[in-house]
Chains A and B, each alone.
Chain A
C-alpha cells in the first residue's frame, strides 16, 4: 500500500462509513463495526511504517491556500501513530458497546464515525488550519451524541461541553493567527524549527510587540479545557455522566487525549520558553488536577461521575509530566529525566484511554442489566452472581489504580521517575493523588462486588459469551502492556528524543 495516501485513506474511511451508516437503518452498527475494524487494521499498518529516526513518516503535502499559509499537510511520528491506534481501538470498543441504540441508529453511528474521522484528522495534521478543521469537527458529532442520546440533563451538559470547548478553541485560534501574521506560516514543523532557534519569538515581538507570553497563555487555555486542567474542568463530570456510556468511552478514551496531544504537538514546541517562565503556577494547577480530581472522585456516589473525576486525576499526571519537563536541562541526567517523563506522558495517554474506556464499558453493561442503575450504593455482592464481570472489571480497576504488572503502572511510574528530579515538590504532593485513587477504587470494588446482593440485583446475569470475547482482547492488552511496555516504548522513544531535541525552554 502506498504510504503517500495511507493517512488520507485512514481519515476518509470513517467518513465514507458514516455516509453508508446514515442510510443503513438497523444495519448501521454492522457498517460501523466493519469500518472501525478496517480503520484499526490501517492504524496498525501506520504503526509499522514509522521511521526509525523518530521524525515524521507517511508525509503528504499539497498546496491548499498558500497566501493564507494553509496546506494539506499530513504526517505521523510515534506520538501521532500511537494516538491513531488508540482512537481506532476506543472507537471499535464504543461501537461494540452501543448494542442498544434503537433511536435513529443510522444517525448515531454516522456521528460516531464522523467523530473518529475528526480524531484521525487531528492526530495526523501538520498544518494549523488543517488541524483546527478536524479539532472542531470532533466537537460537532460529540455535541449531538450527548444532546440526542444522553441522560435526563443532557441539554445543559451538551451545551456546557460545546461552549466551554469553543471558548478554548477561540483562544487557540487568536493565538495562532498572531503567529501566522508574524511568520507567514501555519506548518507545525516549520514553526517548531523557528521556535527552536528563538526566531519565532523575535518575529512575533517585531510584528506585534512583547505578546509571546499572552499567546502561550491563549494556546494553553485552549488545551487546558480539552484535557481538562482544573479549574477548566467543570464541563467534564456533567458531560461524562449525561452522555450514553459508549459515547463517554469516546470522550474519555480518545477526545481527552486531543488536549494532551496539543500540548505536546503545539504548545511545548512553539511556546516552550514561555511555558518555562510560568512553570510554577502551571505545576500548581497540574498538582491540583491530580489531587483534587482524586478527592472529588471520593465524594461521588455515581459510578460514571467517579470514573469521570478519576479521568481528571489521571490526565493530571500527564500535565505533571509535561510541566515538570519544561525546564532548561542542565546535564545528561536532567535530559534523561525529561525523556522518561515524556515517555511516561505518552504511555499514560494510551493506557488511560484504554482503561478508562473499558471502565465505562463495564458501567454500560451494569446499566443494561439493572435498568439504568449506576450508584455504588445500589449495587452489592455482584462478585457472586457475576464472577466473570467481577474478575475482568477488577483487572481494569487495578490497571486504573496503577498496580505493577498492568498497563496503568508503567506510564505513571515513568512520569514520577522523570518528574521527581525536575520538580520534586510537585511530584511528592501528587503522590497523594495515587493514594486517594487507590482508596476510591478499593471502595468501588468493596461496595459493588462484596457484601449482600440487593433485591433488584438478585438475577444479575454474568457476562455473555460475546461480551467476554469482546472484553478479553482489551483486558489482555492491559496485561500485555503492563508486562511488555517496550512494545510501545521502543517505537515512541525515538520520537521522544527527536521532540526534546527541538524544544527550547
Chain B
C-alpha cells in the first residue's frame, strides 16, 4: 500500500484541520465576542460612574456649596445685628413700628 493511500494526509487536512480551526474560533469568540460584550458593559458602567462623579462634583456639590456660602454670608450679616445692646434692639423695634405704620397707612388709603 503505497503511502497508506494518503489516509493520514487526508485526515490531517480535513478532521485535524477542522478541529484546530474551530477550536481557535471558539476561543476567539470567547475572548473577543462574549468577553468583548462583558468588557463593553463594564466600560459603560465605568463611564456612567465617571459622568455621575462629574455631575456630583461640579453641579450638585457646586450648587450646594454656593448655597451654603450665601447662607454663611447672610448669617454673618444677621449676626452683626445681634450685639446684645438693648438700645440697638429698641431702635430696630421702633424702625419696624414706623415701617408697619407706614404700610397700614398706605393700605388704608388704597
Q: Which of B19, B29, B30, B35 contacts A436 (CB 8 A)?
A: B19
Q: Is the CB of B34 within 8 A of A233?
A: yes
Residues of B with C-beta under 8 A to A237: 30
Q: Is the CB of A298 within 8 A of B30?
A: no
Stretch at the interface among B20-28, B63-71, B88-96: B20-28
Are A234 and B23 CB-contacts (below 8 A) given A292-B29, A296-B30?
no
Are A300 and B27 CB-contacts (below 8 A) given A295-B22, A436-B19, A439-B19?
yes
Q: Is the CB of B26 within 8 A of A292?
A: yes
Q: Is the CB of B26 within 8 A of A296?
A: yes
Q: Is the CB of B38 within 8 A of A160?
A: yes
How long is the Cα–Cα vector from A292 to B35 in the complex, in angstroms? 14
How long is the Cα–Cα vector from A164 to B34 in the complex, in angstroms? 13
The count of residues in chain A whose C-beta lies closer than 8 Å to any C-beta of chain B is 16
How long is the Cα–Cα vector from A439 to B22 in the complex, in angstroms? 13
Q: Check A371 for interface membership: any CB of B closer than 8 A.
A: no
Q: Is the CB of A234 within 8 A of B26?
A: no
Q: Check A299 for interface membership: any CB of B closer than 8 A.
A: yes
Most central of A233, A235, A295, A298 by chain B CB within 10 Å: A295
Q: Check B49 for interface membership: any CB of A closer than 8 A.
A: no
Residues of A with C-beta under 8 A to B101: none
Most central of A160, A230, A296 by chain B CB within 10 Å: A296
Q: Check A209 for interface membership: any CB of B closer than 8 A.
A: no
Q: Check B37 for interface membership: any CB of A closer than 8 A.
A: yes
Q: Check A231 for interface membership: any CB of B closer than 8 A.
A: yes
Summarize A's interface: helix, strand, loop or mixed. Answer: helix
Residues of A with C-beta under 8 A to B20: 298
Are A234 and B35 CB-contacts (below 8 A) given A296-B30, A299-B27?
yes
How long is the Cα–Cα vector from A90 to B105 in the complex, in angstroms? 93
Q: Is the CB of A234 within 8 A of B34?
A: yes
Residues of A with C-beta under 8 A to B22: 295
Summarize B's interface: helix, strand, loop or mixed. Answer: helix
Q: Is the CB of A230 within 8 A of B34?
A: yes
Q: Is the CB of B38 within 8 A of A299?
A: no
B71 → A minimal CB distance (Å): 41
How long is the Cα–Cα vector from A295 to B22 in the complex, in angstroms? 7
Residues of B with C-beta under 8 A to A298: 19-20, 23, 26
How long is the Cα–Cα vector from A436 to B25 in the complex, in angstroms? 14
Q: Is the CB of A299 within 8 A of B26?
A: yes
Residues of A with C-beta under 8 A to B35: 234
How long is the Cα–Cα vector from A370 to B107 in the complex, in angstroms? 99
How long is the Cα–Cα vector from A436 to B34 in the complex, in angstroms? 21
Residues of B with C-beta under 8 A to A164: 38
Residues of A with C-beta under 8 A to B37: 231
Q: Is the CB of A299 within 8 A of B34?
A: no
Residues of A with C-beta under 8 A to B29: 292, 296
Q: Is the CB of B34 within 8 A of A295?
A: no
B79 → A minimal CB distance (Å): 51
Residues of A with C-beta under 8 A to B26: 292, 295-296, 298-299
* B 29-50 binary contact with A (CB < 8 Å = 1; else 0): 1100011011000000000000
How long is the Cα–Cα vector from A237 to B19 in the complex, in angstroms? 21
Q: Which of B23, B24, B25, B34 contacts A231 (CB 8 A)?
A: B34
How long is the Cα–Cα vector from A363 to B30 in the complex, in angstroms? 23
Chain A residues 52 to 90 lying within 8 A of chain B, measured CB to CB, are none
Q: Is the CB of A296 within 8 A of B23?
A: yes
How long is the Cα–Cα vector from A230 to B33 in the complex, in angstroms? 12
Residues of A with C-beta under 8 A to B19: 295, 298, 436, 439
Residues of A with C-beta under 8 A to B30: 234, 237, 292, 296
How long is the Cα–Cα vector from A39 to B65 in the complex, in angstroms? 59
Q: Which B residues form the contact surface with A (CB < 8 A)?
A: 19-20, 22-27, 29-30, 34-35, 37-38
Further pairs besides A292-B30, A296-B29: 7, Cβ < 8 Å: A230-B34, A231-B34, A231-B37, A292-B29, A296-B27, A298-B23, A439-B19
| A-B residue pairs in contact (CB < 8 Å), sample of 28 | A160-B38, A230-B34, A231-B37, A233-B34, A234-B30, A234-B35, A234-B38, A235-B38, A292-B26, A292-B29, A292-B30, A295-B19, A295-B22, A295-B25, A295-B26, A295-B27, A296-B23, A296-B27, A296-B29, A298-B19, A298-B20, A298-B26, A299-B23, A299-B26, A299-B27, A300-B27, A436-B19, A436-B23
